[in-house]
Structure formats: structure tokens, C-alpha cells
Structure 1
Amino acid sequence: MSLKQKWRAGEKILNGWLAIPDSFSAETMAHQGWDSLTIDMQHGVTDYLAAVRMLTAISTRPVIPVVRVPWREPGVIMKMLDAGALGIICPMINSAADAADFVSCLRYPPLGQRSFGPIRALLAHGGDYGSKANELVTGFAMIETQAALDNLDAILATPGLDAIYIGPADLALALGATPRFDPVDERVIAAVHHVLARARHHGVYAGIHNATPEYAARMAALGFDFVTIGSDARFMAAGAAAAVGAFRATPLDAPSNGY
């Protein structure tokens, strides 16, 4: 099932984030109950071959595979779709022209310029993938700059654009605030609400990155359709730090029962 099919059924998507370029960690995340998992090729340390192995690992569970590409570069976008991604998050979409160029990379002619060669997508999504790919694939334009805010309505009006994704850290930088997830600065909060309202007006789905489950739940209740919590790297670091901290805080007196 695609993201759009789930959204049309009224579902909210809980998305996990993969920054570690490893198939085993991706498979482990895939077994934790996420609706979708996003491989981060922009700020993560993942290259193409690692991403393919991760997509294969994700396929061990009915989890929707998404990739954040490094940039609005047609070759990378099309290659990740051929590898089996069903969603593409594209950073730094600053204008309607950027959005239109991005959308064109997601669709086969006559709707776009995507070249045909879905080498792994056929295995992952069925032999009829070519006939259904234009509908299956979901494209997210990231809204994270002042230019994107200035051109927001034009971006959202782009034919074929499925969704937007807010990067709170870059959005905060654009507004003169400290970059962070789970914004507390009123300027950033106001911008988040504005982007969501305009997306709703244009019939475009909306996603946002969050640090904590509590903030993600607030964003879902606010009306976001796609909420991300943390990342595999952050979860590993937090879990390890908690274990080390608990050990360091435990008195090491000899136990009375001998062990």
C-alpha cells in the first residue's frame, strides 16, 4: 500500500528515520511497527549501494520505503525510485519551478520525465509496477527556507505535488531562530502553522520532522499527515547514554546475597 492510499483511508503515517548506512539496523527498525521508514541520503552517511541494501531490508516487513535524496537532481531521484523507494523527500524546494522540476522526475511520460528501468522496484512492488508507478510514488517538497515561505502558494499549486515536508531546523535558521526539532520559538511555530494551513487549502498532504513522540503526537493532532520521530542514530545514542548513566549512578557496594 502506498502513502497516498493510506492517507485517503484517513490514516496518519508514523515515519522512522534511518541515518545509519546498514541493512541490519534498517531491518531492526522495520520490525518495530513504523508505517514508513525514510533513508536519509542528505544528512545521513548513506550512499547508493548502502541505500539499496537498506531498502531490501525494509522489505522484510510491510513498511513503506521512503528516501530523502541529497538534492533536486534527476539522476539520483530516478535511481532511488528504480531501487524501490515509494516516496521521495526532496530538500530545498524554493520555487514553483523547483517543485515542477522535482515532480517531473517522479512520473513516467506523459506526466513527467522519469526514464523507464525499475530494476529492483519490479521485485519489490510487482511485475505491473510500470503501469501503477505514477500513482504509487509520493513526492514531498521540503519547505525549509525563506524563499520557500515566500513562494509557498505557488509551490503548493504545482500540479502533481503530493506533499510537503517541514524541516524545522533549517526553517528556524531561515527565520533567525536557533535550529532545533520540536520548535519552541514563536516565529517558527507560526510558520509551521501557516505552512500546514496553506497545504490544507491546496489539498496537499503535510509532514514534519520531530524529536519526541509527544511533539509528534501534537503535530498529528494539529493536522499533519506524516510525522517523523527521531532517528536510528539518535535512538541508539539515547539508549546507550541511558544505560551508561544508570550504571554510573548505581552504587557498587557488594551485594548481600553474594551475586
Structure 2
Amino acid sequence: MRDNRLKELLGAGETAVNAWLSADSAYLAETLSHAGFDSVTVDLQHGMFGLDGAVRLLQAVSAGPAVPLARTPALDAAVIGKLLDAGAYGIICPAVDDPVQAARFVAMCRYPPGGVRSYGPARANLAQVPGYVEQADAQILTWAMIESRAALDAVEAIAATPGLDGVYVGPNDLALALGVEPGLAVPPPEVDAALGRIAEAAHAAGVIAGAFASGTAAALRLTERGYDFVTPGSDMAILRRAAAEAVAAVRGTAVTTAPSGGY
């Protein structure tokens, strides 16, 4: 098993930039892995593919220097185990609302006696390595998503969950949970305050503060707030924005597409 370069980078206090893959395209996955991102997250929750597609995409990301991660569609030990067996070096788990769920999530990513993960690494670069169990437990990263009012209310306890590596904000779902409009380029005060509280909770617990952003400007604002693991938009949002900017530049007109949304 390779060393997790993303874990090393974050452990050194550096900011990591993550790509988000929702298209069922191994070509795009490999391209993103070679584009300078520190990691690429294969999104099995909202991505346009199933588990078979996720395996192909993880393989494609692994062909480049970016660290392959995955977002599981739910707190499901079977799916999380398959994603790890397929080569994900970290899991982002949605809808973690309390420290009990956070502890269950961590256990699903760790082998006994510290967890409940079943043994069965399928990829050759995992299964043929002596000491894989110990390496996997040491290398695989875990993020609990904070995207509900319940999770926000419990964020300090969630962040302090033993073995959890970080929290990750789903800003649009969090905005909906707080009763405000999602997808705004500048977060409303309720979401901005929540972002500050989440970052403070992560720093107090000594874990990674991660978040999805609606573009580069929003990602920079997050880093200024202390977030050290940021996603500056999804693959399709970045492609759509770049395409619209290219068309506008050639025509000499204003960009007509709406700003990127997020998950």
C-alpha cells in the first residue's frame, strides 16, 4: 500500500486542494489526477455512476499522483468496505448527525480490534502487500460531513470522536437545514457563522477542517477561515464555467452561465 501523500501534506500543516468527480468518465478522472489536485473524490452519493463505475474511477485516479478518495452514499458498512477494498485512501461520509454515528463510521473504516471492517482488499496493490491491515488503519482518512442542524449542534462532539480524521462541510445542504437559500456565491450570515463554528471545532479537536466550495473565490474564503482541505467546485461545474468563459472570451461578451453550485 502506498503512503497517503494527502495525510502527510495535511499533517505538515499545508492546505490541500481536492477535486470532485461526479461524471462517469475514467478519462476525466485520470485528467483531474494529473491536473495538480492533491486528491480526487469519487462521489458515489450524487455522482452519475454506481459502485462498478466508482471502482473504475478510483483506478483511473490512481494512475496519476492525486490521492483517490470516495464519498459513500450513506453510513453503510458494506459500501464503505467495498470502496476501501477498491482502493479509496479516504472516505467522506454524509449525514453524520451525532458522535455515535461518527464513531460507527470510524469503526467501519478500521479493522478489528479497533473497528469492524471486514478483510478483503481486492486491488492488487492492496491485497499483495504484507502488513496491509496495519497500513490501512494508519493510512486511510475519515471525514464526517456536517450538513444538518443536528450535526452543527453536535459538531464539537463529532470532531472529538476518537479516530476521526476530519469534518467536511456540505454547505448547500447545511444552508437548507438552516432555512436559507443554498448555492449563493457569498454565504448568508447563518451559514457563515456555521462555517466559523465548524472550523473552530475541528481545530480544537486537532482534526482536518474540510469543505466544498462554489468556486475558487469561495475556496479562498474558506482557507482564510482556517479550512485546510477545500474543494473548489465539482468536475462539471469547473468544466461548465471554463467552457462558458472560453465562449465569452472569443465572442467578447459577458459570461452567461450561472456560478457553480455545490453539493
Post-superposition CA distance 1:216-246 (Å, at most 9, x none): 1221232111000111111222233334445
The verdict on how the C-alpha distance between 1:105 and 1:155 changes in structure 2, with shifts beyond 3 A counting, is same
In the alignment, structure 1 residue 127 sits paired with structure 2 residue 151:
no
CA contact (8 A) 1:84 1:125 kept: no
CA distance in 2, matches of 1:187, 1:214: 19
Post-superposition CA distance 1:6-51 (Å, at most 9, x none): 2112221100110101101111111111000001111111211111
Please give the secondary structure, in 1, of the residue aligned with 2:142: strand
Shift in Å, 1:124: 5.5
Question: What is aligned with 1:257?
Answer: none
The equivalent position to 2:14 in structure 1, one of 11, 14, 26, is 11
**AA of the residue aligned to 2:99:** A
Tell me whether 202-211 or 4-13 shows the greater mean CA deviation. 4-13
Please say which structure displays the higher CA radius of gyration: 1
Post-superposition CA distance 1:94-136 (Å, at most 9, x none): 011111110110000111000011111x416971332210011
State the TM-score, normalizing by the size of structure 1: 0.90
The equivalent position to 2:201 in structure 1, one of 189, 198, 203, is 198
Post-superposition CA distance 1:41-65 (Å, at most 9, x none): 1111121111111111111212111
The residue correspondences of 1:12-27 to structure 2 (distance < 5 A) are: 12-27=15-30
Question: What is aligned with 2:175?
Answer: 172
**AA of the residue aligned to 1:163:** G
Q: Where does the alignment leave 5 or more consecutive residues of structure 1 unmatched?
A: 251-259
Question: What is aligned with 2:146?
Answer: 143
The residue correspondences of 1:1-259 to structure 2 (distance < 5 A) are: 1-2=3-4, 3-120=6-123, 122-123=124-125, 127-128=129-130, 129-180=132-183, 182-246=185-249
Tell me whether 66-75 or 45-54 shows the greater mean CA deviation. 45-54
**AA of the residue aligned to 1:178:** E
CA distance in 2, matches of 1:81, 1:145: 26
Aligned residues: 249
**AA of the residue aligned to 2:129:** G
CA distance in 2, matches of 1:221, 1:211: 15
CA distance in 1, matches of 2:251, 2:222: 36
CA distance in 2, matches of 1:238, 1:153: 36
Please give the secondary structure, in 1, of the residue aligned with 2:70: strand
Tell me whether 124-133 or 79-88 shows the greater mean CA deviation. 124-133
Tell me whether 156-165 or 240-249 shows the greater mean CA deviation. 240-249
